[in-house]
Copies of this chain bind each other. A is one copy, B any other.
């Protein structure tokens, strides 16, 4: 398979073009020639020197990440962008990126993976971004608030970080809304939905009082930790296509 074919398969599965107007990230193939042959793909949450070098070491022809290098265009291929682009080009490693399409995909996505861990049922798309969605919401059978925290703490890859629980919700959690990464701006939508708990990655100062006043549990489980599901699912897809895969672990603890 060549790089163009790999990118086309992912683009179709992830509906890349449908997110073009709502995502600052230039999703799809970001660096490299479409003609290169792909036999081994590496996967990581972030495109950074650490992961790019690891991909090269693993012998990968392509690196697939959730966070890429072009957010509205690379102004200059200098400094940090040079340090990241140069090894990709020198070592013939293509970079494929899927940001919001991978957050919101209903089965492969980050929110979907997190919902799996929490055992959510009756799932609906959640976290509107223009005409698309970047999260999921679902129902549960009276989850214990401390138990949810424990699940997130033990099942996710936190690096030096952990889970912060704003413990302001009811004793039994029956409805959960999830927006992985930096999802604080969708907290009000979770309240409007009637969610008992809102799970996201990074916190924002305003969330504390918002949660306290709304009487809703908030779990800040880490940006990195909540976003490993998607790239793992894309690795599984590549496995199915007969491509060798390596999933890189580089937790930020943030």
Are A213 and B32 in contact, with the CB atoms below 8 A? no
With a CB–CB cut-off of 8 A, which chain B residues contact A28? 76
With a CB–CB cut-off of 8 A, which chain B residues contact A117? none
Are A86 and B83 in contact, with the CB atoms below 8 A? no
A74 at the interface (CB under 8 A from B): yes
Give the CA-CA distance A157 to B180 in the complex, in Å.
28
Q: Digitize A142-171: 1 where CB-to-B-CB distance is under 8 Å, 0 elsewhere.
A: 000000000000000000110010000000
With a CB–CB cut-off of 8 A, which chain B residues contact A67? 205-206
A103 at the interface (CB under 8 A from B): no
* CB proximity of A116 to chain B, nearest CB, Å: 22
Total A residues in contact with B, Cβ cutoff 8 Å: 53
Are B213 and A82 in contact, with the CB atoms below 8 A? no
A194 at the interface (CB under 8 A from B): no
Copies of this chain in its oligomeric complex: 6
- Could you tell me the dominant secondary structure of chain A's interface residues? mixed
Q: Digitize A86-120: 1 where CB-to-B-CB distance is under 8 Å, 0 elsewhere.
A: 10011000000000000000000000000000000
Interface residues of A in 184-212 (CB under 8 A from B): 201-210, 212
Neighbour of A77 across the interface among B50, B85, B203, CB < 8 A: B85
Are B160 and A182 in contact, with the CB atoms below 8 A? no
* CB proximity of A154 to chain B, nearest CB, Å: 19
Counting chain B CB atoms within 10 Å of each CB, the highest count among A76, A203, A212 belongs to A76
Neighbour of A50 across the interface among B80, B212, B214, CB < 8 A: B212
A selection of 29 A-B contacts at a CB cut-off of 8 Å is A28-B76, A31-B78, A32-B77, A32-B78, A32-B82, A33-B78, A33-B86, A34-B78, A46-B205, A48-B212, A49-B213, A50-B212, A70-B77, A72-B73, A73-B75, A74-B77, A77-B77, A77-B85, A80-B213, A80-B214, A160-B164, A182-B205, A202-B202, A204-B254, A205-B223, A205-B254, A208-B252, A208-B253, A208-B254
Please list the residues of chain A having a beta carbon within 8 angstroms of any beta carbon in chain B: 26, 28-34, 46, 48-50, 67, 70, 72-80, 82-83, 85-86, 89-90, 160-161, 164, 181-182, 201-210, 212-214, 220, 223-224, 252-254
